[in-house]
Chain A
Amino acid sequence: MDCRAARRFIPAFLDGELQPGREVPLKEHLDSCGSCRAEMVALRRTMDAMGACQDLEPAFALADIKARATERQTRRGWFSLAPRWATALGAAVAIFVGTVGGIGLQVVHQSSTQPPAVSRAVSDVLGLGTSDDPLADLMVASASEHSTIPGNNGQEGRP
């Protein structure tokens, strides 16, 4: 095992997550390489330093959750009780304001790649997110990161 591979496997080794079959070659390398041993010590110290951060104590109780839930459901209830024509009119106004405002802002900020601010504001008011699963979006967007790891000639991601 060379230094590049050893350094790739050191974090998993310290986490006790190194795949079987890699531990012996890594240990042999560490026995003979002071530089990689120093790297492992520095990484261990870094992880140790992370371990001292204090946890927060919850400042909320079950009653707070139920109160919020009730309030949320009541708000939804009022919305559902509104006449259908009022709901449709409200939605149409929101879309109109968002579209017109968005076009206006687009003209003013031709170079902007952000979604129109008014549309975003309308979306926020209506409680709509940009995605139901932003974590999935994030992982897709960063998929290319997983395919390679620096310093390993693109072999990583499947060590």
Chain B
Amino acid sequence: MLAFQRGDDSAFAALFERYRTRVLNTAYHFLGDKDTAQDVAQEVFVKLYTSPKSYRPGAAFSTWLYRITANACLDEIRKRKRSRSAASEDLPECILDPAASPEGQARSNELKREVRAAIAALPENQRLAVILQRYEGLSYQQIADVLKTSVPAVESLLFRAKHSLRARLSSYVEGEQ
């Protein structure tokens, strides 16, 4: 990013290649809508491209980028609420096991749909913490850096989020062997 700030355009291309899938999928898991996620992810990179000076060395670039992405998602949610055009709730798809029986696939699909709905129902801060931890593989400290909060606060957010997910999904997960 520092190289791009100095005017090296190829540095932006490298950043774009390295982070575009991560930015896209953070937005996708957060917003639950494919098209909106693609659009929000592009806006994140447009912002990066047009305002490179907004990044200040000191914070890790990825931390800063996740924060920009989270803010873009929150802006999008605010816009949706204002326009009262509810999202299509196009919840992220889940992988099906091709070897499973039709009944097994149906049950698996139902569980995964329910998981996505449970994530979508979490408060925004808990949802973001879960997505960064579970899908992006960030440590509690890295999540704390993105959220600009403490590790105990992240632990608290994740405790609440996972408690909610586990309670909502209890009828699915407790029946499994």
- Please list the residues of chain A having a beta carbon within 8 angstroms of any beta carbon in chain B: 8, 11-12, 15, 17, 39, 42-43, 45-47, 49-60, 62, 64-66, 68-69, 72-73, 117, 120, 124, 129-130, 133-136, 138-139, 142, 145-146, 149-150, 156-159
A56 and B25 contacting across the interface, CB-CB below 8 Å:
yes
The reply on B53 being an interface residue by CB < 8 A is no
- Given the complex, which residues of A lie within 8 Å of B148, measured CB to CB? 135-136, 139
- Given the complex, which residues of B lie within 8 Å of A57, measured CB to CB? 21
Q: Can you identify 13 A-B contacts, CB atoms within 8 angstroms?
A: A39-B166, A43-B162, A43-B166, A46-B169, A47-B134, A49-B169, A53-B135, A54-B95, A56-B25, A65-B45, A134-B75, A146-B152, A157-B153
A58 and B115 contacting across the interface, CB-CB below 8 Å:
no
Q: Describe A's contact surface by its main secondary structure.
A: helix
Q: Which residue of A lies closest to B23 (CB)?
A: A58
How many residue pairs between the two chains, A and B, have CB atoms under 8 Å in the bound complex?
158
A59 and B75 contacting across the interface, CB-CB below 8 Å:
no
The reply on B139 being an interface residue by CB < 8 A is yes
- Given the complex, which residues of B lie within 8 Å of A130, measured CB to CB? 78
B134 and A68 contacting across the interface, CB-CB below 8 Å:
no
- Given the complex, which residues of A lie within 8 Å of B50, measured CB to CB? 69, 72-73
* Alpha-carbon distance between A42 and B165 when the two chains are bound, in angstroms: 10
- Given the complex, which residues of A lie within 8 Å of B28, measured CB to CB? 55-56
- Please list the residues of chain B having a beta carbon within 8 angstroms of any beta carbon in chain A: 12-13, 16-17, 20-21, 24-25, 28-29, 34, 37-38, 41-43, 45-46, 49-50, 67, 70-71, 74-75, 78-79, 82, 92-95, 111-112, 115-116, 119, 123-125, 128, 130, 133-135, 139-140, 147-149, 152-153, 155-160, 162-163, 165-166, 169-170, 172-174, 176
* Alpha-carbon distance between A73 and B47 when the two chains are bound, in angstroms: 11
Q: Which of A39, A56, A117, A136 has the most CB of B within 10 A?
A: A56
B92 and A53 contacting across the interface, CB-CB below 8 Å:
yes
User: Would you give the shortest CB distance from B165 to chain A, in whole angstroms?
Assistant: 5
- Given the complex, which residues of B lie within 8 Å of A46, measured CB to CB? 115, 162, 165-166, 169, 173
* Alpha-carbon distance between A126 and B110 when the two chains are bound, in angstroms: 43
